[in-house]
């Protein structure tokens, strides 16, 4: 890396300001490291929203949609890592300096003014999710000027197009994920410009749709919308439908979408619950520590997967990361069932804090 990597920075804004002529190998490695952090940053808030949905409503359309979006984001993280390693870079994620911290901005200065927090599913949380995914030119709702994730990926793709010789196919980790959800979800080896073009297209269009349509071009089921529009549908409580053919116009005027019943997870304070001024009972502390250990192990296994020289080792590390992922939901929902002592009616929830490996 050409610079010290930190989660809290203005790196993406600065990378986007650099003239295209300066988008060389060092620029691309820095940009892809930031892309990895961006993909990682979306997972904790979305997971908190999903896990807060009560068991009785986990067969709802809202639960299914958010689950599918999380699945997509996991695939996007893998593709971003493969883009970085194919040019000789190395994802840097298992470190307290780069692990996402909440509440706070997205990495690199993307979506300025947006503060991302860990909290249960609500209209406010849904607005936050959709602001993360918002495209430059949505086909529904007005747009503010900002640095979007899609614009950043477009710049990354142009850098690849101008120097395809950088694509060497180093340390490519693969995992078949289409069976879980969607034809675009496999984490594939990126050994050519065509491979990279396809990967960037999946990441951009699953999140934002296209300039002409809100549809997800790589759906799990026909008619599935891109992430931004899926979140806006749940926020508005109505399906997005085409209301005009010429000119084409879409609005949230379709069938009603009921909000599921949720556990009232509060907003995790900066630094975790112990930093928020309220006492943390021993049982809560145990669940918080268990969760944070599994989360930190997950990040370490992911980093080891993309550092591995042998594909068999990479697969083993990725499988172990997936195992840690399955270990998160239990302590998270235990926390969401435990009331905060402040009388607010809210509950605890996972902190997603990185802890160093025990010696």
More confident residue, 147 or 40: 40
Place of tokens 């192990």: 297
Averaged pLDDT of the chain: 88
| Torsion (CA) 204, 208, 213, 219 in degrees, nearest 10 | 70
Work out the average pLDDT over 161-173: 96
Biggest alpha carbon distance in the chain?
Answer: 65
- On whether residue 70 sits in a domain, the answer given is yes
* Residue 185 confidence (pLDDT): 75
Gap between the Cα atoms of 203 and 205, Å rounded: 6
pTM attached to this predicted model: 0.92
pLDDT beyond 90 at 278:
no
Domain of 147, CATH number, reads: 1.20.1260.10
CB-CB contact of 63 with 57 (8 Å) = yes
- On whether residue 279 sits in a domain, the answer given is no
Work out the average pLDDT over 299-321: 95
pLDDT beyond 70 at 98:
yes
In DSSP terms, 250 is beta-bridged to: 242
- On whether residue 346 sits in a domain, the answer given is no
pLDDT beyond 50 at 144:
no
- On whether residue 352 sits in a domain, the answer given is no
Gap between the Cα atoms of 209 and 204, Å rounded: 7
Work out the average pLDDT over 189-202: 94
Closest CA to 152 of 208, 216, 92, 217: 208
For the record, the structure tokens of 133 come out as 């995914």
More confident residue, 67 or 219: 67
Work out the average pLDDT over 302-308: 96
At residue 108 the predicted structure's pLDDT band, cuts being 50, 70 and 90, is confident
Taking only the tens place, the pLDDT of each residue in 30-64 is: 999 999 999 999 999 999 999 999 999 999 999 99
- On whether residue 312 sits in a domain, the answer given is no
* Residue 36 confidence (pLDDT): 95
* Residue 208 confidence (pLDDT): 66
Number of domain units in the chain: 1
Least confident of 20-24, 246-250, 308-312: 246-250
For the record, the structure tokens of 327 come out as 């270990």
pLDDT beyond 90 at 195:
yes
- On whether residue 167 sits in a domain, the answer given is yes
Q: What is the 3-state secondary structure (H, E, C) of the chain?
A: CCCCCCCCCCHHHHHHHCCHHHCCHHHHHHHHHHHHHHHHHHHHHHHHHHHCECHHHCCCHHHHHHHHHHHHHHHHHHHHHHHHHHCCCCCCCCCCCCCCCCCECCHHHCCCCCCECCCCCCHHHHHHHHHHHCCCCCCCCCCCCCCCHHHHHHHHHHHHHHCHHHCCCCCCCCECCCCCCCCCCCECCCCCHHHHHHHHHHHHHHHHCCCCCCECCCCCCCCCECHHHHHHHHHHCECCEEEEECCEEEECCCCECCCCCECCECCCCCCCHHHHCCCCCHHHHHHHHHHHHHHHHHHHHHHHHHHCCCHHHHHHHHHHHHHHHHCCHHHHHHHHCCECCCCCCCECCCCCCCCCCCC
* Residue 147 confidence (pLDDT): 61
- On whether residue 175 sits in a domain, the answer given is yes
Place of tokens 């509440």: 103
Q: How many CA atoms lie within 13 A of 350 on its CB side?
A: 28
* Residue 220 confidence (pLDDT): 65
Percentage of the residues of the chain whose pLDDT score is greater than 90: 66
pLDDT beyond 50 at 190:
yes
Domain extent, residue 200, equals 11-265
- On whether residue 333 sits in a domain, the answer given is no
* Residue 180 confidence (pLDDT): 54
């Amino acid at each position: 890396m050409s610079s010290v990597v930190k989660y809290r920075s203005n790196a993406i804004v600065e990378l986007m300001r650099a003239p295209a002529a300066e988008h060389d190998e060092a620029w691309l490695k820095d940009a892809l490291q930031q892309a990895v952090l961006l993909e990682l940053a979306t997972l904790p808030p979305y997971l908190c929203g999903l896990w807060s949905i009560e068991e009785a409503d986990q067969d709802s359309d809202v639960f299914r949609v958010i689950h599918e979006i999380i699945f997509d984001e996991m695939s996007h993280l893998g593709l971003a890592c493969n883009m970085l390693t194919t040019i000789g870079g190395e994802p840097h994620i298992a470190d307290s300096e780069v692990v996402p911290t909440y509440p706070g901005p997205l990495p690199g200065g993307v979506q300025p003014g947006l503060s991302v927090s860990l909290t249960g599913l609500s209209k406010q949380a849904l607005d936050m999710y959709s602001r993360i995914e918002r495209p430059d030119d949505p086909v529904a709702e007005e747009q503010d000027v900002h640095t979007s994730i899609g614009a950043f990926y477009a710049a990354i793709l142009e850098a690849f197009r101008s120097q395809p010789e950088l694509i060497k196919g180093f340390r490519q980790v693969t995992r078949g994920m289409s069976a879980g959800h969607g034809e675009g979800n496999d984490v594939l080896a990126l050994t050519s410009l065509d491979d990279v073009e396809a990967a960037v297209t999946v990441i951009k269009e699953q999140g934002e749709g296209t300039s002409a349509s809100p549809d997800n071009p790589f759906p799990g089921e026909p008619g599935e919308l891109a992430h931004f529009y899926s979140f806006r549908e749940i926020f508005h409580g109505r399906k997005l439908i085409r209301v005009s053919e010429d000119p084409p116009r879409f609005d949230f005027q379709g069938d009603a979408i009921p909000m599921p019943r949720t556990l009232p997870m509060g907003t995790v304070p900066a630094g975790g619950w112990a930093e928020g001024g309220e006492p943390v009972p021993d049982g809560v502390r145990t669940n918080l520590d268990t969760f944070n250990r599994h989360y930190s192990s997950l990040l370490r296994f992911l980093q080891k997967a993309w550092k591995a020289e042998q594909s068999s080792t990479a697969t083993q590390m990725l499988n172990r990361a997936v195992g840690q992922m399955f270990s998160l939901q239990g302590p998270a929902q235990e926390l969401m069932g435990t009331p905060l002592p402040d009388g607010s009616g809210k509950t605890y929830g996972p902190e997603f804090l990185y802890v160093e490996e025990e010696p």
